[in-house]
Structure 1
Amino acid sequence: MHHFFVSQEQISEKEIKILGQDVRHIRQVLRMEEGEELLVGDGEGREYLCQIQKIEEKAVIAWILEQRDSQTELPSEITLYQGLPKGDKMELIVQKTVELGVSRIVPVEMKRCVVKLDQKKAAKKRERWSLIAESAAKQSKRGRIPEVSEVKNFAQALQESSGEDVLLIPYECAENMGATRAIIEQIKPGSSVGIWIGPEGGFEEEEIEALKNCGGNVLTLGKRILRTETAGLAMLAILMYHLER
């Protein structure tokens, strides 16, 4: 069943009004007709089973048949603190981590980041990443659209992540998979989890020490060295397997 997101202002007691680019997609791409059913989410965890009543040029009107809480969200809030990668790797990271259940993505400028974004470029990148997050949330039938935050420096992100219940830092110099398993097994549904991933050049030692002092758990993901665009996906997949019921 096709899935769309709307804002709260588009939802009334009995009907939902779909606007914008989704109207064109429904009319011209999917070629949906009046009477067909679709799922509509409010982006915050509630979804509505709807039946299309009217397809207009600039709006699709759908009656609400059923309202329910989304069943596709992980039982924990997971934030990815991602060191800014080169090229378009961030687009892949956003898309795939949204599919795997991430709650929020924070792009972080770290010492070994090659990419340096000024305020204007960072704002444009964030807009692009947010659109990718929304598209991935639709495709994977998420109940919410994960937020992609503004780009932050290491100190800002570190302060923010200090409020997480658990901090996980996959690090190429770490060893002992047994310790990794023990850390993961202690994470309970409902805990907030922060994942820190370094850029292509990895973490500086002082960054690792700062994360440890903030309560971070430095761990290994195995004997192979993972790329920055792979490590976060691996960590999310492990947490999805561990937390989902």
Structure 2
Amino acid sequence: MNRFFADRKNIIEDQQRIFIDDPEDVKHIGKVLRLAEKDIIEICDGENGIYIGEISTISKGKVEVKIQEKKISDTEPPIEVTLFQGIPKGAKMEMIIQKCTELGIHSIIPLNTSRTVVQLKDRKDEIKKIERWQKIAQEAAKQSKRGVIPNVGQPIEFSDLEETLAAFDFAIIPYEKETRIGLKSLLKNKIGQRKIAVIIGPEGGFEEAEIEKAKEFGSVPITLGKRILRTETAGFVVLSTLMYELGDLGGI
């Protein structure tokens, strides 16, 4: 069944109606999928609520759906992982957002570090980037049947982590010079802990001073093995392992 997201303001439960007015979704429903009146679709409110509905009308700028059933999404993992991603070059950030959304990420925060090469020009450029990244998260959430659209936050500085990490049960930061603590051994003592922060450096990795600061902030440096992973790979590996060990990847 095809799934779409709708703004809460467009879900009118007392009238059993939902309006989809995103231009791309309207076009996709009518022109690409060639859905018609009386076809059944799923609509997600982005907050874990799922509505099964019958298309009642399709117009140029809007699709109206009659609600038949409401349920809670069962596709969200039991853990909330936030990825603090050192901003990489090119389209790597887009791929990271897409794949992490598929794997069940809760939120993604772009991170400026000492070795971050990409610099957003100004506030206008930053807003444009965030909107683009959020749209990618939404499309990936739709494709992977997520009940929640991961939030792509505003970029933060490395120093901002000190205050931000206080909200998490634990935080990990993969570092190529760490040889003692591995992710496997660390997670043995983390069963039942729900809010997790993962901090990934940009292409050039972290400076040693940043690792020391991260430790002061409460983060645990870990090794991911003897091979050096790219920035666009490291987050996937950590998230996949967390979902397998503490989440629902592979079933219950």
Alignment-derived partner of residue 16 in structure 1 = 18
Q: Tell me, in whole angstroms, the C-alpha distance in 1 between the residues paired with 2:193 and 2:168.
A: 11
The answer as to 2:198 corresponding to 1:198 is no
Q: State the Cα distance separating 1:155 from its structure 2 match.
A: 1.2
State the Cα deviation string for residues 81-111 of structure 1 (Å, max 9, x = none).
Answer: 0001111111111111111111110001100
CA distance in 2: counterparts of 1:6 and 1:215, whole angstroms: 38
Alignment equivalent of 1:60, drawn from 59, 63, 87: 63
The residue type equivalent to 1:46 in the other structure is: G
- Deviation string 1:46-92 (CA, Å, 9 cap, x unpaired) is 11111112222221111112111111111111100000111111111
Structure 2 CA distance, aligned partners of 1:112 and 1:68?
46
Equivalent position amino acid for 1:97 in 2: C
> 1:8-53, CA deviations, whole angstroms, 9 ceiling, x for partnerless residues?
1111121211112211110001100111111111111111111112
Q: Distance in 2 between matches of 1:104 and 1:97?
A: 9
Instruction: Tell me if the contact between 1:77 and 1:190 (Cα under 8 Å) persists in the aligned partners.
Output: no
Q: How does 1:215-226 map to 2 (within 5 A)?
A: 215-226=218-229
Residues 46-125 of structure 1: pairs in structure 2 closer than 5 A: 46-118=49-121, 119-125=123-129
Say whether the 8 Å CA contact 1:170–1:218 is kept in structure 2: yes
Q: Quick one: distance in 1 between partners of 2:235 and 2:48? A: 23
> Per-residue deviation at 1:176?
4.3
CA distance in 2, matches of 1:15, 1:43: 17
Asked if 1:133 is matched to 2:137, the reply is yes
Shift in Å at residue 174 of structure 1?
A: 1.6
Question: Partner residue of 2:4?
Answer: 4
Cα distance in 2 between the residues matched to 1:125 and 1:94 = 12
Aligned residues: CA RMSD: 1.4
Q: TM-score, normalised by structure 2?
A: 0.93
Distance verdict in 2 for CA 1:231–1:33, change over 3 Å:
same
1:169 paired with 2:189, answer no
Give the aligned length. Answer: 244
SS in 2 for 1:52: strand
Alignment partner of 1:167: what SS?
strand
SS at match of 2:12: coil
1: CA distance between counterparts of 2:28 and 2:193?
36
Which residue does the alignment assign to 2:147?
143
Aligned equivalent of 1:235, options 234, 238, 244: 238
CA drift of 1:181 comes to 1.2
Contact 1:75/1:189 (<8 A) preserved: no
Q: Is the 8 A contact 1:109 1:152 kept in 2?
A: yes
What CA distance in whole angstroms lies between the structure 1 residues aligned with 2:192 and 2:94? 28
**Using the alignment, how far apart are the partners of 2:78 and 2:192 within structure 1?**
5
Q: Distance in 2 between matches of 1:188 and 1:40?
A: 33
**Percent identity over paired residues:** 44
3-state SS of paired residue (1:162): helix
Q: Partners in 2 of 1:171 and 1:37 — Cα distance? A: 48
Counterpart residue identity of residue 105, structure 2: V
CA 1:164–1:85 in structure 2 vs 1: closer, same or farther (change >3 Å)? Answer: same
Higher mean C-alpha displacement, 123-132 vs 113-122:
113-122
1:108–1:157: 8 Å Cα contact kept in structure 2?
Answer: no
Letter in 2 for 1:209: E
Structure 2, gaps ≥5 residues long: none
Out of 214, 217, 225, the position equivalent to 1:214 is: 217
Conservation of the 8 A alpha-carbon contact between 1:75 and 1:190: no
